[in-house]
Structure 1
């Protein structure tokens, strides 16, 4: 179901009119592009040589994001007659990564793809991607690589090279119902873990018709848990791609608090909460606060019939959140295609396009210059909630990324779920997880 040809300007929508866009998750649906990949590296158009690129992209949020990507690509094609990008919607992040890996092994990878920033080491270990800084140096575009927010580059660089660039990036933020806060006599969002518990207890009804808090705990549970470890002074991962810190005492303490929220303090439902359930419960008034992706902002503002507040995640020792979301990767193909792919990546992340993408979705615009555009200034004047995730970047740390990244993430997610459901204590769950991760990563040298 392709969309009609249109420029990006013609299809750009204000945040106030964007239809439902939910947060990150694997259940999003969107129409796939029916155009097939264009064989070969070039063709002719208008008498000139055309470089054909394939662009695989996932949809990590509900709503018409696939159409927006297609419109964005069409605007690029309209303004670059010597490059034709064919965009292919490829499902969620997991299915897109699987497709890309399979295609690379078969000798037909996409030229560009949006994949999780944490997929870097897997793709690098496969030899599938090229360093973006090498291409940028050849094109005289090194200043462009310096333009991104440093927090996003923590998951974009390794071994002294930049292997991908930020595109649709996010952090977790606290969404809160200002109307319910006012009724409960709470004047501001919680700043600390203690305040989070106290406020959530005031906002929880004994009959379960209203919860003070909901934090998604199914799916990418490691990501929802990771802020607590960072806020307690110890991230679960450092600079080395072959080492994790799951059983560090501060991480264990953080998981204990994570588990206590539903089980001891009884401020959120017991068991596992689905990623897509939390924003629905929030916008319908069933949950007074939720932790969710900044990429859910547009949907929540559209759906909620009350005053929505957005705040930093509450701190223990410090504020903190992992970054999240997708980067642009350029795959090893031909010099001609790689050069054209760089042009496409630069265009997608330009200040004007990054600002528009952010305003329409809630993803964070990936460069400070995007926030200097008049369009973004006007948007934030009307929608100050859109600045919170950007401001929280000063406290952001890297998302869990290692060799064998998806397996290591699943190990931590499983440990968190075992603790949340009472199968293991937080200490035992993380001890077991550390042993599994160590065994998996032992074949990689520092």
Structure 2
């Protein structure tokens, strides 16, 4: 296997994440020498080390860390930006950035892209999520998508010698694995973002009239939605995907896998840390599609500086430091957004290689147009409805298409 594919993508350090107790102050400080940074809990340990290095080199700037969580982040950021009471730096999902740009809530960070951090050093597609025209309003630091994890021991026990390469093979393998307390596959249907991104990847891979991403806006078709629903929703209904999927988020699905309760799942390369910590005999592969590898939605994490920041200059200085190749490697759990940030051999492993291949050859940018946010509740509800047998794939696809058309008309 050519693991050097990762060098062009920048696979991030797979370091274990522990929790960091956040500062009690959530907004930015009026102190001109103080910067408040909202950082996700999984980044907190490395962030603490980076802040120590930053303040050692910049003793005039104090950095306060406030820990955030994935399930509350979107609402927390929206409320802060709408109220004007904001921190100075926010780590946020790339695909949500455009809605803040549309409301003129972010500082233009284009001046940070210098010879030391040229735009050409960023992975293809990463800057589209955070830019309007030629102006960038955020700096990406992490980029990733999905690949297949499978339990080699359960595969051997079921007589399966290779990971599935198509969805027909996935279903056949899942049915073989579904015995006793084990079910073939698990989905993250308890989390809206995880659910709809997996749905979009499958819809974009549909053999007939596939979904597309046009300038950040998702264009769905009834046939592509039905094809995706037949996999994600119907698999739970028909028993070859775990019923626990209905309430599970990414962490819960990973734990089901560790416990041997599911034999496969689609997840991010960051899960390798926990799987290897638990001494799993795990294999990785490209995400199976209808006829060969599936497309998966690529998304990432970025640094924002709110327009309402009380110390924009110091915030920009911190962001410039955090997006150096060295800092990006230390903080990123998946793939660095900069190609220059992946030169160490420890980033080029056989288990990580399928995720790099997925990202480079079989990914589609996650929708980032605000119309996607309007469509998300309907998508999530209809996928759930199919999974619990309240709706057929055909009925749900029609409902989704009506909502998708309305969302695009309201752009």
1:128 aligned partner: 105
1:371 aligned partner: 342
Q: Does residue 1:299 correspond to 2:269, yes or no?
A: no
**1-structure distance, mates of 2:404, 2:168:** 32
Q: Check whether the contact 2:211–2:224 (CA below 8 A) recurs between aligned residues.
A: no
1:384 aligned partner: 350
**1-structure distance, mates of 2:64, 2:211:** 38
Q: Check whether the contact 1:113–1:329 (CA below 8 A) recurs between aligned residues.
A: yes
> CA 1:268–1:443 in 2, change beyond 3 Å: closer, same or farther?
closer
Say which is worse superposed, 107-116 or 151-160, in terms of deviation: 151-160
Shift, 1:249, TM fit: 1.6
2:302 aligned partner: 327
> CA 1:236–1:158 in 2, change beyond 3 Å: closer, same or farther?
farther
Gapped regions of structure 2 (runs ≥ 5): 1-12
Q: Does residue 1:272 correspond to 2:249, yes or no?
A: no
1:210 aligned partner: 182
For each residue in 1:36-63, what CA deviation from the matched residue of structure 2 results, as whole angstroms up to 9, or x when unmatched?
Answer: 6563352xxxxxxxx432211233x5xx
**2-structure distance, mates of 1:74, 1:406:** 37
**1-structure distance, mates of 2:97, 2:14:** 31
Q: Check whether the contact 2:383–2:396 (CA below 8 A) recurs between aligned residues.
A: yes
2:8 aligned partner: none
Shift, 1:427, TM fit: 2.5
Which residue of 89, 93, 96 corresponds with 1:116? 93
For each residue in 1:61-100, what CA deviation from the matched residue of structure 2 results, as whole angstroms up to 9, or x when unmatched?
Answer: 5xxx4333222222222222343322211x3245333333
1:289-368 correspondence runs (5 A): 289-303=264-278, 305-317=279-291, 318-333=293-308, 337-358=311-332, 361=333, 363-368=334-339
Shift, 1:284, TM fit: 1.4
**1-structure distance, mates of 2:119, 2:226:** 37
The RMSD of aligned alpha carbons is 2.8
For each residue in 1:255-274, what CA deviation from the matched residue of structure 2 results, as whole angstroms up to 9, or x when unmatched?
Answer: 2233332334x321246140
- 2:262 counterpart SS class: coil
**1-structure distance, mates of 2:160, 2:128:** 36
2:382 aligned partner: 415
- What is the TM-score with the length of structure 2 in the denominator? 0.84
Q: Check whether the contact 2:88–2:312 (CA below 8 A) recurs between aligned residues.
A: yes
For each residue in 1:148-173, what CA deviation from the matched residue of structure 2 results, as whole angstroms up to 9, or x when unmatched?
Answer: 21143343334443332222432122
> CA 1:316–1:156 in 2, change beyond 3 Å: closer, same or farther?
farther
- 2:403 counterpart SS class: helix
> CA 1:406–1:288 in 2, change beyond 3 Å: closer, same or farther?
same
**2-structure distance, mates of 1:268, 1:97:** 29
For each residue in 1:390-437, what CA deviation from the matched residue of structure 2 results, as whole angstroms up to 9, or x when unmatched?
Answer: 332112111132215533222211121112222222222232223234
2:52 aligned partner: 74
Count of aligned positions: 392
1:55 aligned partner: 37
> CA 1:31–1:39 in 2, change beyond 3 Å: closer, same or farther?
closer
- 2:183 counterpart SS class: coil
> CA 1:159–1:19 in 2, change beyond 3 Å: closer, same or farther?
closer
Q: RCO higher in 1 or 2 (8 Å CA, sep ≥ 6)?
A: 2
Gapped regions of structure 1 (runs ≥ 5): 1-13, 21-28, 43-50
> CA 1:107–1:155 in 2, change beyond 3 Å: closer, same or farther?
closer
Q: Check whether the contact 1:121–1:401 (CA below 8 A) recurs between aligned residues.
A: yes
Q: Does residue 1:147 correspond to 2:114, yes or no?
A: no
Q: Check whether the contact 1:215–1:292 (CA below 8 A) recurs between aligned residues.
A: no
Shift, 1:141, TM fit: 4.3
1:5 aligned partner: none
**2-structure distance, mates of 1:101, 1:262:** 33
**2-structure distance, mates of 1:200, 1:255:** 17
> CA 1:132–1:39 in 2, change beyond 3 Å: closer, same or farther?
closer
For each residue in 1:303-330, what CA deviation from the matched residue of structure 2 results, as whole angstroms up to 9, or x when unmatched?
Answer: 2x33111221112245311113422112
**2-structure distance, mates of 1:35, 1:331:** 16
Which residue of 193, 200, 219 corresponds with 2:167? 193
Shift, 1:184, TM fit: 2.9
Q: Check whether the contact 2:151–2:263 (CA below 8 A) recurs between aligned residues.
A: yes
> CA 1:230–1:236 in 2, change beyond 3 Å: closer, same or farther?
closer
Q: Check whether the contact 2:200–2:211 (CA below 8 A) recurs between aligned residues.
A: yes
1:33 aligned partner: 23
Q: Check whether the contact 2:148–2:284 (CA below 8 A) recurs between aligned residues.
A: yes
1:85 aligned partner: 63
**1-structure distance, mates of 2:119, 2:403:** 36
